[in-house]
Chains A and B, each alone.
Chain A
Amino acid sequence: MSVGTASLGGRGGWQVVLPLTLPLVLLVITVLFAWRAPGFLSGGNLTSLLLNGFVPLAIVAIGMTCAVAAGGMDLSVGTALDFASFSFVVLLNAGHGLGLALVGALGAGLLVGLFNAGLIAVLRISPFLATLGTLFIGTSAQQLLSDGGQPIYIAADVRPGLTSLTLLGAPLPLLAVGVLALLYGVILGRGRLGRELLAQGTQPLLAYYSGLSVRRIATSVALAGALACGVAGVLLASTVNAYVPLSGNAFLLNAIGAVFIGTTLNRQGRANIPGTLLGVLFINVIANGLLLIGWNFYWQQVATGALIFIVLAFSFASRRLAG
């Protein structure tokens, strides 16, 4: 019996430690960089880290969180992002005004989501393979639309300048992340849809036999993910004042990584919005800090890869110890 209580006590200990792993590691590397890397804490560096690194990846990763929480995966996040950014740029250049361009961009992103939803909910293709197909078709479509990958620039007189706007002292892109994180976080963490989605993600058969509509859940997930990617597409296009074909795919693997790093924040290992945001911050802080320390650029990639590996390994090992 004493063995049982001892191991129970141990488990309790791990359960307390596990969700703290990621915040603690993030804190330690931030302090390390603040100490060792000149200019890490300067306003300019932090602004650039947040606006150029954190914002687009965070928005894409928020969309990915829904897909992973529901037990799936979305490989076409880049496609939705690119389609939104393409529509945004084309509509602006055609002189339709910012409002219509925004609506068109989000619509184009949602169209990709709708396509995925059809594949997943109606044709019953697994989300991974469905979105893989979408990714390939999206790649072709963009190559054909852009003559093999030529960027389309926004004409100087219709540049939206969204990224330099501030509201109550906060830059608009950061506010967009905040609003999306709050919205998706509340839906995932508090709402009925979020509960159904997590049920589907953790116990798909149980969810099915409890009468949950698998189709409705799959459709909401695909549309929610695509909407977030649409927002990211608009922000990216107005940051670089252009549509750069196939640029969205750069976020795919990091977004998956961030979401799964973020699952360590949850005791049951579920995907969650706060964890995802910390995961994105983790990836960006490492990349930025190593750059400032003055490491060889190529070794930075190795170190980033190794650190992500270590955090994942540690968190999964401790989750196993926690039972």
Chain B
Amino acid sequence: MSRPDELLLAAQSPDTTRRWPVLLLRHGSLGVFALILLGFAVAAPNFLTPGNLANVFSQSAILGLLAFGLTCVIIGGGSNVVAGGLDLSLAANLGLCAAVFSRLNNAGLEPWLSVGLTLACGLAVGLLNGLAVLLLRLPPLLATLASMNLLAGLELVLTENTVVPTDAALLDLLSGGTWLGVPALAWVLLVTAGLLTLLIQHSVYGLRLYAVGEYPHAAEAAGIRVPAYVLSSYLLSGVCAAIAAFCSAAFFSGSTTGSGEMLLSVVAIAFLGVVFSRRWVASIPGTLLATLLIGFLINGFQLLNISSFWVNGVQGLLILLVVAASSALSRGEAS
């Protein structure tokens, strides 16, 4: 069974002569990633220690999970940022889910019930977004912008804009547990990435989701029920936000304010991940690599005592470089 993107690639460009700049750039971006790691490894002696690496993985978990959700929506809705798939409500959804979990848990509900209801909350937000996009025909950008405001308000109602501390066995396990020397948060990130990779990159569902996003008319003509796939991408995004909420609650021992500030980083990571994919499309492995790249950058800067104020700028420059290179490449292919 070939990977979906290989199938599409084979269908699209039979001539292999055009592919070498693409391959060079793709491997080039992996090369840049490796160079950054090497640079930090040389400059900061404790950078490559297992403890530090585990640290980076678990600190990347929250952003990574949110970025996975956005990646699903981008794949299912198409990569046009204004008319295509976009979920601006992800970070607010995390904030709301974390608040819901903390409140329910503090109210003394059975642990499995609070976990279930929190997941349901994330799913409900996904459903709301999906229905707003499909039934009301709102552009995703607007639909999720509006729901973001709504969710941020609901979170305020639940938390009254303060930290809601909570204590649960699940959170202790997530924040303190390790297995095979790898912390639990890193496991959550990697396992979710693995499952989503199987689902999105290696299954019929995933292939159809890509088709729905990039060529909706062709997908419809081929008998794929486009609305169901688009809706499913928003549901996936909602679940990702709920899982990220558990990680966030474990990290901060409860719900915190200001989760909305993660939104633009999540958007940046999802679009940055495009560079690590074979066909310059959003993909789960690409998003994982982009998440880790940003995680390593932040961590490396800390170890080298470089001000963390530089991180945003480097991230911005990376996005611009990636997108400029990709648009130059696609122009080269078009001509």
> Chain A: residues with CB nearer than 8 A to chain B?
71-73, 75, 119, 123-126, 128-130, 132-141, 143-144, 148, 253, 256-257, 260, 296-306, 308-309, 312-313, 316-317, 320
Contact = CB atoms under 8 A, between A and B. Distances in A.
Interface in B138-166: 138, 141-143, 145-154, 156-157, 160-161
Contact of A133 (B147, B157, B307, B320): B320
B312 interface: yes
Nearest to A149: B309
Given A71-B82, A137-B312, A308-B149, A124 B327 contact: yes
- The residue in B148, B324, B328 that gathers the most chain A C-beta atoms within 10 A of its C-beta is B324
Contacts, number: 140
Interface string B310-335: 11111111011001100110010000
A73 B324 contact: no
Contacts of A316: 136-138
B32 interface: no
B323 A129 contact: yes
Contacts of A257: 142, 145-146, 149
A302 B153 contact: yes
Given A126-B323, A135-B264, A144-B307, 19 more contacts: A73-B82, A73-B141, A125-B323, A126-B81, A126-B327, A128-B81, A129-B271, A132-B264, A136-B312, A136-B315, A140-B316, A144-B309, A253-B145, A256-B145, A299-B153, A301-B156, A301-B157, A309-B149, A312-B142
Interface in B155-191: 156-157, 160-161
Q: Is the interface of B mostly helix, strand, loop or mixed?
A: helix
24 contacts: A72-B82, A119-B324, A124-B327, A125-B323, A133-B319, A133-B320, A133-B323, A134-B316, A138-B316, A140-B314, A253-B148, A257-B145, A257-B149, A298-B161, A299-B153, A301-B149, A301-B156, A303-B153, A304-B149, A305-B152, A309-B150, A312-B142, A313-B138, A317-B136
Interface residues of B, number: 45
Contacts of B307: 143-144
Given A132-B268, A133-B319, A144-B310, A313 B132 contact: yes
A125 B320 contact: yes
Interface of B: 81-82, 88, 132, 136-138, 141-143, 145-154, 156-157, 160-161, 264, 267-268, 271, 307, 309-317, 319-320, 323-324, 327-328, 331
Given A133-B317, A144-B309, A302 B150 contact: yes
B323 to A, nearest CB: 5
Contacts of A119: 320, 324
